[in-house]
Chains A and B, each alone.
Chain A
């Protein structure tokens, strides 16, 4: 189609921005490192600079990029699943479940890896709980799913508040950082990167079905889309992506909500284009936000979730005001 060339151009720009954002994340920091040193380090150089790049900045930049991509993809999928442009990856309580797990681990003072495991377990528990409850009587309507998810999220919120109130003062800070989203402790981003790549590739052959589903369930069924099966697959996939992201960097807000919107404004609502573009844009935004979070008032670090919200809220309000609906 005619729009193909424009899509390729936008993708080229997106890819370039992503690379530039990642390079900036490697160059910027307390200790300025030149571009040449960065390439030397990535190429297997020795010394302290190379160690900082390879063991600190690279994992952190990749973690930010991957979780941004995961959240934006999950957000786009949730919006189609719930047929609601205001849905975000957290709306069905996935991040609430992860927060309960992670904070429980922190309260008990377990190791970082165990906190991750508890967060992922909590997210999966919330996912199965919402799925089971919403599916209860065999029907599976959007409203029922949404209501169940929102209620489970509220329950998790209460449990989180309880743990924060009871936790010793020394641990409250790290708990709050986890909840606002923080990429500084993400040391093992590569499995999540694989999840992102596989998920975006796996959605592609079904993306046109998502376009049809977005027009309404009944028309989708009449057009030969297996709606029930597709919805369940969407739910499980979006939940897994969210759980992976939240486990990696905590519940970073707004990426999953505004990135699909931004991409939709630029490229339209064709999921075949929207989903890979959202993954790219989400990754880029979170990488930029995370790099800013650790450099703006260095040596003090800000939780990246605060920055995405600070960027996200005005952008979102601006878009809402520009597109009255």
Chain B
């Protein structure tokens, strides 16, 4: 998908990928290529298969057709723990069944970096505290996760992913439960992470907000819920006609102060 970084080895590659759930095809064959420093947004209406696609890109689900490669190797060739050091997944919020402190929860992200008998070291704890600070939760270390609000829990989950420190961040609706301020802060945080010098990082995220996708994504995959896939650079995919068709609702493009905004009619 990228012409700019054509010579770099892609962090994530999908070739001739197609997904089927039961009898239904979620998306017809398409390919993608994501190199370090890039951000890809998955857009589409409810039930279009964005999460299924994300899980497939995370190697947690075998593709019906085609192949997914992480850093050049198909997932089948990756030992599970090694893959977990290379790519991390932010899942949609699930209810917690057991209590734990915020710090303990974030330290779970260090799991793939510790040996079978290993306990979290002071360095792991420092990483976890830093991750909490990055999502604005410093001072929450000792709080019980079950007492947090939805938005705070979402930020704890993001901090857990930061503590995991993967190269490829796969985010399923990372802005869920977040207020406007933290929506922008979170997207800025990931943009800074993938643009950091010397770091081979990239982001794939499922988003609902077309305008935030227009602002932060380099590439977009648009699923229309009927098996159709449009994949390409942001400008090529984020067009009023394509979006209107995919979401089944007329949208209008507005250019405002150098930014593109899509407004539902």
Contact = CB atoms under 8 A, between A and B. Distances in A.
Interface of A: 1, 83-85, 205, 208-209, 211-212, 214-216, 218-219, 221-226, 264, 268-270, 272, 325
B97 A84 contact: yes
B91 A219 contact: yes
Interface stretch (B18-26, B113-121, B130-138): B113-121
A85 B100 CA distance: 13
B177 interface: no
Interface residues of B, number: 37
B94 A216 contact: yes
A201 to B, nearest CB: 12
Given A219-B89, A325-B146, A208 B114 contact: yes
Contacts of B105: 215
Contacts of A219: 89, 91, 94, 108
Nearest to B89: A222
A205 B117 contact: yes
B152 interface: no
Contact of A214 (B60, B98, B101, B146): B98
Interface stretch (B4-12, B28-36, B78-86, B178-186): B78-86
B147 to A, nearest CB: 10
Contacts of A211: 108, 111
B97 A221 contact: no
Contacts of A212: 108, 111
Contacts of B88: 222-223
Nearest to A274: B98
Contact of B120 (A1, A205, A225, A269): A1
Contacts of B116: 205
A272 B114 CA distance: 14
A223 B109 contact: yes
Contacts of B91: 216, 218-219, 222
Contact of B112 (A84, A214, A224, A264): A224
B111 A225 contact: yes
Contacts of B97: 83-85, 214
B120 A223 contact: no
A223 B164 contact: yes
B104 interface: yes
Interface string B46-84: 000000000100101000000000000000000111111
A223 B60 contact: no
A218 B100 contact: no
B99 A269 contact: yes
Contacts of B96: 215
Contact of A224 (B55, B84, B122): B84
Given A215-B96, A269-B98, A223 B111 contact: yes
B100 A268 contact: yes
Nearest to B112: A224
Contacts of A209: 111
15 contacts: A84-B97, A212-B108, A212-B111, A215-B96, A215-B105, A216-B91, A216-B94, A219-B108, A221-B60, A222-B91, A223-B111, A224-B79, A264-B99, A268-B104, A269-B100
Interface centre among A83, A205, A215 (most CB of B within 10 A): A215
A50 B96 CA distance: 53
B173 interface: no
Contacts of A325: 146
A231 to B, nearest CB: 14
Contacts of B164: 223
A72 B99 CA distance: 19
A103 B7 CA distance: 74
